[in-house]
Structure formats: structure tokens, C-alpha cells
Chains A and B, each alone.
Chain A
Amino acid sequence: GAVVSQHPSRVICKSGTSVKIECRSLDFQATTMFWYRQFPKKSLMLMATSNEGSKATYEQGVEKDKFLINHASLTLSTLTVTSAHPEDSSFYICSARALQGRGGELFFGEGSRLTVL
């Protein structure tokens, strides 16, 4: 099946620093990528939708200046958590939707666990 890769899988940073998480579709081109965050024992919460070559669409309540999303190519989207604080500690998961030929299925990465000290 299709593979979506996230990097890093775990990151620990100091409060006030910025962290970048990469999401790559390895064997298909993704017109749309989605970013989710997940707190312990909770469901996935959609943060934003990014389309290649255009600005991301953020869900209500998600600060776009805090969570910068760049979808520079059909295989790469990045999420940058700017000026991270302990409350940003979470599990961040990306997903990618393929171009025609994959039936619109959504493929998920393995997630990136961010811990802000």
C-alpha cells in the first residue's frame, strides 16, 4: 500500500523554540495533505488542510501563525510549531490524499510526538 512518512517521530524541545515536522508521500503524489493533533486517550483533531501550491485552510480555533503549514510539492508538506510551549506537546499526525487512481483514500503517517519542556 501507499506509504506516508513523517519525520521526526519524536522530538523534545525547549519552550520558545520552533519545531518543524515533515510529511512525505513516498510512492504517490498527494494533492491534499491533512494535519491532525491528538492528545492522550482522545481522538484525532483536524488542524488544517493543505493543498499543493496554495495556502492551507485552518480549522476554527487553530492559530495559523502558531502552526505554519507549507505544502511546497506534491510529495512534501511541513508543519512548523512556532515558539512552542508545553501546551503544544502532543501527537501530530499527517495524512495524504492521492491523485486520481487511488480512490481518494487517505493514507496516514506514523505520527510525531512533540514534547515541549
Chain B
Amino acid sequence: DAKTTQPPSMDCAEGRAANLPCNHSTISGNEYVYWYRQIHSQGPQYIIHGLKNNETNEMASLIITEDRKSSTLILPHATLRDTAVYYCIDTTGNQFYFGTGTSLTVIP
């Protein structure tokens, strides 16, 4: 059962930062938050994951609040190819349950 809440859709101008929020208020203390994205009719693609500290990789940055009840995925310079559905996943119970995700549209 999904344990995360995300806005259903967002728009972002090309070249600007896209900030995607996620609420995971029921996450347990030692479980990671994962972010994936899915482009139409493809398998989900891993983006980033974190536990307590903020994380950054070549794709994105992940900001996790101190109480761990929410996080924000940041795509620093969105491109048209970043248009996709973004899922944040609470892995409590060692399961990967997908919520409804956020459909991000990058606008030229």
C-alpha cells in the first residue's frame, strides 16, 4: 500500500529547476526514500535515494527534512527529456510500493 503523497502534476520551464515534493509521514526511522521516474510505456528509471542526509548525483538532488516526513527532488536544469511521471517511494517493510506520482511536464 502506497505510503507517499505527491501532487498529481507540475509544469516547469525548460532550463529552470524543477522541485518535486513528497510527503512520507509514516516512514520508519531506518528506511530509505527512493525516487524513480517513468517515461511513457517504459520501465521506471532510478534517480536517487537517501536516508537522512541530503544527496546529490549526476541526475538530481534530494533534500530530506530533518523529521524525515517529507522530501523534495530537485532537477537543477530541467530539459524536455525530463518530462515523465516521478515517483517517491517509502520502502518501509522492505517493499517498494508506488504512489500516484507527479506528472512533470517541461515546457519549452
Contact = CB atoms under 8 A, between A and B. Distances in A.
A7 B38 CA distance: 19
Contacts, number: 50
Nearest to A105: B46
Interface string B80-108: 00000001000000011111110000000
Nearest to A4: B43
Q: Which 5 A-B pairs have the closest CB atoms?
A: A108-B43, A44-B98, A110-B43, A108-B44, A43-B98
Contacts of B42: 110-111
Q: Looking at chain A, what size class is its interface with the partner chain?
A: 20 to 34
Contacts of A91: 41
Interface string B13-27: 000000000000000
A46 B43 contact: no
B41 A43 contact: no
A106 B92 CA distance: 14
Interface of A: 1, 4, 6, 34, 36, 43-46, 49, 91, 93, 95, 103-111, 113
B45 interface: yes
B49 interface: yes
B77 to A, nearest CB: 22
Given A43-B87, A43-B101, A111 B96 contact: no
Contacts of A105: 34, 46, 49
B88 to A, nearest CB: 12
